[in-house]
Amino acid sequence: MINIDRFLADEQDPKAVEKVAGKLNDLLTSGEEILYLAVQKKPAVNLLPDCIAISNKRIFYCSPSNLGLTMNFKDISWKNIKEVSFKEGLLGSKFICVPQSGENIVTDFIPKTQVRKLHQAANQQLEEYKELLRQQKLEENRATASTFNIPAPSTPQVIDLPIEEAVIIPEIAHVVEVSQEDEIEQKLIKLKTLYDKQLITREEYEHKKAAILDSM
């Protein structure tokens, strides 16, 4: 059975809490517990208020019907919730649940103290669910790496080899006599290559080309 005493600390309506807690007790799954319960406080007449309950698995929305003889329950699990927020007003606050798809779920006239604790409890459960998803993703990646036998990075092995005496091989100089005309032609080709690669400007190209031709 749900102990309702801990849900009366923030001036929740005792009758509403008792009625909702009795119904919620039959809806909880294995390992599930109610963490916080908030009750509407409508201005003037507060008959048949709606309630919001936070568990470690979902959010419950509880609405009386048939003059309070029956209770309608709607729940949304943490995996289907994008974020939660609240907005304070003069006559109470709005608790806003933003699902992954569909319209926002807005509940009016939640007392300020209750809406803050409701928001805190819901945010904590969302963070814990996201952390659980991150851990599951890491485990999946490790399992995939193990399946394909991807080796872990290792330190490269250093092998010491004996140093042999260096042998100096003399270079053979090839002397090629190039005529002045061939030399100028080579310079012009190199200059044109520099210009085609946009390494020099058009002005620099024309200036150096004229200088080479003048040297003939």
132-158 pLDDT, tens digit per residue, is: 999 999 998 888 887 766 555 565 565
Pull the structure tokens for residue 212: 């080479």
DSSP state string for 52-108: EEEESSEEEEEEEETTTTEEEEEEEEGGGEEEEEEEEETTEEEEEEEESSS--EEEE
My answer on whether 194 and 112 are in the same domain is no
Tens of pLDDT along 67-112? Answer: 878 889 999 999 999 999 999 988 889 999 999 999 999 999 999 9
Pull the structure tokens for residue 197: 């690669």
My answer on whether 141 and 186 are in the same domain is no
Which residues does residue 50 pair with via DSSP β-bridges, in sequence order?
none
Model-level pTM?
Answer: 0.63
- What pLDDT score was predicted for residue 67? 83
Range of the structural domain that residue 107 is part of = 4-147
Give me the number of domains the chain comprises. 2
Quote the CA–CA distance of 71 and 59 in Å, as a whole number: 16
- Residue labelled with tokens 């509407």: 40
Quote the CA–CA distance of 150 and 52 in Å, as a whole number: 49
My answer on whether 201 and 94 are in the same domain is no
